[in-house]
Amino acid sequence: MTSIYYRRYRRKRYKKWKAFLGVGICVLFLLSVAFIWGMPNQKQPLSLVARSMFFYGGDFISLRGAEKQFPVLAEEEYDSVLVDWSIDYDPGVEGESEIPVFVRREISADQTISTTTSNLTGQPAVTVDETVRVLIYCTHTSESYADGATVLDGAAYLRDVLREQYGITAVVSETVHDSPEWYKSYANSRKTAAAMMEEYPDAQLLIDFHRDSGVSKEDCTVSLPQGDAATLLLVVGSNMTMEHPNWEENQKTAEALGTEISSVNSDILRGVRVQKGRYNQHLTKNAVLLEVGTDLNSYEEVQRGVEIAAQGIASYLQSQS
C-alpha cells in the first residue's frame, strides 16, 4: 500500500513540476519576444524597452544604471563605426526631462528636402550686414514636426528672420546627415560644420538645429498673445564620454544666449542642459545645439518659437561685438 501511495504522490508531484516548467517556458518565451520587439530600432521606436534606453552612442551605452564604456577611437576612425550621439534625458540626473523616443521620417540619401522661404516679406526692415555671422545645420535632417515640416524648414525660417528683421546674415546647410545610415549622423554633420566654419571664418555662432521627442506637447508649448509657440532648449556637450577639454566655453556661450532668449520671453526657454555627448561642439566654443519644440508641435508653433530665438540671437551677437 505504501508503495502505491508513494507512486501516486510522485506522479502528482511530477505533474505539478511539469506544469510549472511549462508555464515558466511560456513566460520566458513571451519575455524574449517582448524584449526583441521592444529593442530600440527605427521600425518600432515607440516600444517600451526602447524608451528605457536613455542614451545611445558609439562610445557609451547606458540602460537605467547598467553602463558600459568603450574605448574612445581616434578621430579618423569615427566614420566607420557607430558614432551617433542621441540627446539623453536621464530623469535621474538633476531633474532632466523624460526619455527621448527616436522618431524619424525615412528619406533617401539623394532626396531633396523642401526648405521654406518663410512667409516674411523678403524685404529686410533693417540694413543687412552681409558678413556671415551665424551658421546653421541639422544633424538629424529628417526630423519632422506634426504637420510634416522638417527641422530644415525651421532652420531656414530662422535664417530668414535673422536677415529680414535684424540684418544678420546666416547660412543654412541643406546637407542630409541622417540617411541612409542614421547612426552616422554626427560623423557626417561634423564634416559639414567644419567646412562651414572654414568657408565663413567670421561666423560668431554655430547652431545645430533639432527638435525634441518623447515629451508631451504641453511641456514644449507656451502661450503667446499671437498664439501658441514651440519652446526652446539649449543643449551643451561635455567631456564625460569623449575628449572635449573646452566644453565649459560652450556652456558659457549657451548660457549667455539663453539669458538673451529669456529676456524676450521668460517662459520660452526650457533650460540649458549639459549632456554626456559631445555633439561636435569641440569644433568651436561658439557651438550650440538648439532644440525647437517637439514632434507634436505644428510648424506654425515652431515659427513663433524661432522668432523669439532669433531675437535672442540678435541680442547675443550685439553683446559680443
Whether 183 and 56 map to the same domain: the answer is no
- 109 located within any domain: no
Residues 6+ apart with CB under 8 A from 72: 59, 241, 242, 243
Structural domains counted in the chain: 2
Pairing of strands 168-172, 227-230: unpaired
Give residue 168's pLDDT. Answer: 98
Whether 68 and 135 map to the same domain: the answer is no
The residue out of 13, 46, 80 marking a domain boundary is 80
Whether 157 and 285 map to the same domain: the answer is yes
Q: Reduced to 3 states, what is the DSSP secondary structure of residue 14?
A: helix
Cα–Cα distances in Å, from 207 out to 29, 63, 102, 129?
A: 47, 29, 21, 19
Angle formed at CA 258 by CA 256 and CA 261, multiple of 5 degrees = 115
User: Mean pLDDT of successive 10-residue segments in the chain (321 residues)?
Assistant: 58 63 73 54 33 28 28 32 32 32 35 42 77 98 96 98 98 95 94 98 97 94 96 96 93 98 97 95 97 97 98 96 81
Where does the chain show beta strands of DSSP type E? 55-56, 60-63, 66-69, 129-137, 168-172, 205-212, 221-224, 227-230, 232-236, 269-274, 287-294
Segments forming the whole domain that contains residue 26: 2-80
Q: Reduced to 3 states, what is the DSSP secondary structure of residue 218?
A: helix
Whether 189 and 264 map to the same domain: the answer is yes
Whether 7 and 145 map to the same domain: the answer is no
Locus of grid cell 511641456:
219
Give residue 122's pLDDT. Answer: 57
CA–CA separation, 89 and 80 (whole Å): 27
Whether 178 and 293 map to the same domain: the answer is yes
For residue 98, give the amino acid letter.
E
The residue out of 80, 115, 137 marking a domain boundary is 80
- 230 located within any domain: yes
- 23 located within any domain: yes
Pairing of strands 55-56, 66-69: unpaired
- CATH, residue 246: 3.40.630.40
Give residue 34's pLDDT. Answer: 57
Whether 148 and 275 map to the same domain: the answer is yes
- 85 located within any domain: no
Whether 75 and 170 map to the same domain: the answer is no
Give residue 3's pLDDT. Answer: 61
